[in-house]
Amino acid sequence: MSSAAETVHPRAETYAEFAALVGALAHEIRNPLSTIRLNMELLAEDFENTDPQSPTKHRDRRAKAKIELVREECDRLQKLLGDFLDFARQESLTLEPGSLNVEIDQLLDFFAPRAHEANVELVRYLDPELPMVRLDRETFRSALLNLLINAVQAMDAGGQLVVRTRPSGLGVAIELIDNGQGMSEETLAKVFRAFYTTKQGGSGLGLPTARKIVEAHGGTIDIESAPGRGTKVTIWLPAPPRLPTAGARTALPSP
């Protein structure tokens, strides 16, 4: 009789092959796309040097506008391919003990100029007694950064973004609370669907990728929102019981 592991393994292998195939296809598309964009830039430079007194100046102006449109579409497709590769990639996370508060503090310091430019105030409530967690720092930061960007984009006229950490059950919770435009129930029900987006030029892969990363950490992500009342994103991560609090200076216990 086949074991459960033997039943699951072919499916995982099939997914890995599919992800590799899709990733290779995306790379193959990206290469000629980069060539197209480069040649559009060179062509635009040729039109920059056109004599303003030339009888063809109006035609050249129209041609330059079309070139710029192609460049913008190339940029959009390159971003979409990048987001898609991030979503399709099967990563083996390297989880190491760390302070979630330190990671968030550093990320918010990095993100502060962008928030300031959007007239968004960042408010931090980071619990000093927060237990340590196991993180793949780079991938988790990328997920959190995407959520911060979404929150700022939801506040067209500026506002306030609260970032809070707290112990929660056998783990820790991170809350991102904005006072932006919020989402309807219909939109909220679809936000984790791949390629679903309400943003102009968005790929619809940011939130699905963020959820994938959080779940790879053994955590969960939940979103509450209502039109005109803002949005609250809650990430829960498990905290191994043998790890000390982030503020503790004691060494990790021996295995």
**CATH number of the domain enclosing 160:** 3.30.565.10
Same domain, 66 and 147: no
Looking at residue 236, its pLDDT comes to 94
Cβ(165)–Cβ(101) below 8 Å: yes
Query: In terms of residue numbers, what domain contains 11?
Result: 4-88
Looking at residue 4, its pLDDT comes to 40
Same domain, 123 and 231: yes
**Cβ count near 12 (within 10 Å):** 11
Q: Does 244 reside within a domain?
A: no
Distance CA 250, CA 166 (A): 21
- Among the three residues 40, 56, 88, which one is the final residue of a domain in this structure? 88
Q: Does 44 reside within a domain?
A: yes
Same domain, 151 and 108: yes
Same domain, 113 and 41: no
Q: Does 128 reside within a domain?
A: yes
Confidence of residue 181 (pLDDT cuts 50, 70, 90): confident
Confidence of residue 197 (pLDDT cuts 50, 70, 90): low
Q: Does 107 reside within a domain?
A: yes
Tens-digit pLDDT profile for residues 84-127: 666 666 556 788 898 999 999 999 999 999 999 999 999 999 99
Residue with tokens 């959820």: 211
Cβ(180)–Cβ(121) below 8 Å: no
Q: Is residue 102 helix, strand or coil?
A: helix
β-strands 159-168, 120-126 pairing: parallel
**CATH number of the domain enclosing 39:** 1.10.287
Same domain, 28 and 127: no
Confidence of residue 38 (pLDDT cuts 50, 70, 90): confident
Q: Does 248 reside within a domain?
A: no
Looking at residue 211, its pLDDT comes to 87
Looking at residue 172, its pLDDT comes to 94
**Cβ count near 4 (within 10 Å):** 7
Q: Mean of the pLDDT values across residues 47-63?
A: 68
Same domain, 159 and 221: yes
Same domain, 110 and 169: yes
Q: Does 129 reside within a domain?
A: yes
Same domain, 80 and 111: no
**167 — phi, psi (to 5°)?**
-65, 150
Distance CA 13, CA 252 (A): 36
Confidence of residue 9 (pLDDT cuts 50, 70, 90): very low
Q: Does 243 reside within a domain?
A: no
Distance CA 117, CA 57 (A): 38
Give residues with Cβ within 8 angstroms of 128, minimum separation 6: 101, 246, 247
- Among the three residues 67, 88, 109, which one is the final residue of a domain in this structure? 88
- Among the three residues 88, 118, 151, which one is the final residue of a domain in this structure? 88
Looking at residue 251, its pLDDT comes to 40
Same domain, 104 and 11: no
Looking at residue 3, its pLDDT comes to 41
Same domain, 194 and 127: yes
Same domain, 20 and 67: yes
Same domain, 10 and 50: yes
Q: Does 252 reside within a domain?
A: no
pTM over the 0.95 mark: no
Number of domain units in the chain: 2
